[in-house]
Structure 1
Amino acid sequence: MSYLRISDTVVETYRIVHYEQTNFLNRLHGGDMLFFLVETGMLSATKVAKGTSLLASLDDVVFKKPVKLGDIIRVRAETVYIGNTSLEVEINAFNQNEEVVSAYATYVKVDDLLRPVPVGVKIVEENEEEKRKIEEIKKRRESKLSKIADRQKMRFRTEDITEGIRYKISNVIHVSPELTYDGKIMSAGKLLKLMDDIGGVVCFNYIGYNNSTDYTSGAVVTVAVKGLTFYSPIRLNDIITIRAGLIYVGNTSADVIINVIREDMKGLKEHVATAYFTYVRIDKEGKPIKMPKYIPVTDREKNLYEEALLRRGLRK
């Protein structure tokens, strides 16, 4: 068994925000930021594991400040804790040394057949601050593991989770080489961007976005991602179906449940991931504005609405 300090695991990457990555306010799209985050996190995990490391979960993604066209973004990732086959990575994005996004991700080291294999490395703390951080990650990890104890069952839950939701949309995509890391496995970052885009479309449809130049209906921006867990990797030539449905609307924000199903060339279907994306409606000045009033109507909508209240801490 070998040992590393947290400082040994740090990876930093830099990105310039280009025009095609921005919205009408010249702000960076949330999906592009998610891509930056998970790709940098993967570099830290791969550096530590010395082998292929795939994203297993992403949680507590919080967008704190907008990023604009031409900004230079520094993304910092460090592996804070290592289990048997998994690595817990803390990821932060900065603009001029001001933190703009924070996230926690879990990666799993896999072999050529995509089976989990031992990492063979442990993290040692150097001071009380690092000891505290590691203890927090352990608690976070234990809580997460308790929620995904039925991972194998979840892998084969391929039903349409947006059934019974009125405001929904789905998209079908062929996994071509440009969507993969290595011509074999789909990039988690590119998948997250696709998920974020379709969630945004659901919100745009709900607020009545008319694609006009005056933006009278406003627009939406991503502010958080929660509960993203991967149950199956996506491979080259798979067909993926991404479904998104509106499940909660507050004063200025909305939650969208987004689900991904893969189907291989033989017709085998597997559940890839499900997550909750939160968007905020803004005006042309970038200020939050009220969402249209939402009342859950169907039984499915009512159940998901109550779950959203619990997740947001608005119900006990």
Structure 2
Amino acid sequence: MPDLLETVIENRWMVQPNHANNLDTAHGGNVMKWMDEAGAMSAMHFTGETCVTAHMDEVNFKQPIPVGDIALVKSYVYRAGEHSVRVRTRVFRENPGKTETELTTESYMIFVAIDEDRNTTSVPELTVGSERGERLREEALSDAP
């Protein structure tokens, strides 16, 4: 059974002008794409199967990410069903050369595992074998809609 910490994904993108809107900040569509990709990778690490997006809760944009800054996308599986997994996805803004981050965007997503014939397939049970994993799981469960 996969452990929650095995599903943690952290990806970074340098926000370039081609990622930007007319205000020279990351376009919301690009941020959502990055979230969807990271969430799917977490789901696939967990299930060992191809996973498709079934649901994305409201996406809350709290702060913009200016061109030249880094978008840090973090995701992990916090709950498993019979054929689906729930993933928490958060985006942070990083200024290159500095260590502090600022939360910019977050959402909760559901991915469905599918087999080679594109039929739903069952997923394993989620295990949590560390204090850090338990803390992440509890944070997601307490904040989830």
TM over 0.5: yes
How has the CA–CA distance of structure 1 residues 46 and 62 changed in structure 2, closer, same or farther, with 3 Å as cutoff?
same
Deviations 1:91-115 (A, max 9, x none): 0111121111011000010012211
Of 114, 120, 127, which residue of structure 2 is paired with 1:116?
120
| Number of residue pairs the alignment of both structures matches | 137
Deviation at 1:16, TM superposition (A): 1.1
Look up the match of 2:97. Answer: none
Asked if 2 retains the 8 angstrom alpha-carbon contact of 1:22 and 1:69, the reply is yes
- Which structure exhibits the higher relative contact order, with contacts defined as CA atoms closer than 8 Å and separated by 6 or more residues? 2
1:48-87 matches, within 5 Å, as 48-87=46-85
Question: What letter matches 1:129 in structure 2?
Answer: R
- Given candidates 132, 135, 138, the residue that maps to 1:129 is 135
Cα deviation, residue 47, structure 1: 0.8
Q: What's the secondary structure of 1:8's corresponding residue?
A: helix
Q: Secondary structure at the match of 2:32?
A: helix
Matched residue type, 2:19: Q
Which consecutive residues of structure 1, in runs of 5 or more, have no partner in the other structure?
141-316
CA distance in 1, matches of 2:63, 2:136: 26
Structure 2, unmatched stretches of 5+, are 95-100
Displacement of 1:135: 4.3
SS in 2 for 1:121: coil
Matches within 5 A, 1:1-316: 2-4=1-3, 6-96=4-94, 97-124=101-128, 126-127=130-131, 129-130=135-136, 132-133=138-139, 135-136=141-142, 140=145
Indicate conservation of the 8 Å contact 2:78/2:137, yes or no: no
Q: C-alpha deviations, 1:35-82, integer Å up to 9, x for none?
A: 010011001111111110000100031001011111111100011111
* Alignment partners' CA distance in 2, 1:59 and 1:125: 27
- Tell me if the contact between 1:80 and 1:123 (Cα under 8 Å) persists in the aligned partners: no
TM-score by length of 1: 0.41
How many Å separate the matches in 2 of 1:25 and 1:131? 36
Given residue 120 of structure 1, which amino acid in structure 2 is its aligned partner? P
- Could you state the TM-score of these two structures normalised by the residue count of structure 2? 0.85
Equivalent pairs: percent with the same residue? 26
Bigger radius of gyration: 1
Find the residue that maps to 1:26 and give its secondary structure: coil
Note the aligned Cα RMSD (angstroms). Answer: 2.0
Determine the C-alpha separation between the residues in 2 that align with 1:29 and 1:120.
35
CA distance in 1, matches of 2:84, 2:25: 34
Are residues 10 and 34 of structure 1, via their aligned partners in 2, closer, same or farther at CA, if it must alter by over 3 Å?
same
Mapped contact 2:86–2:109 kept (Cα < 8 A) = yes
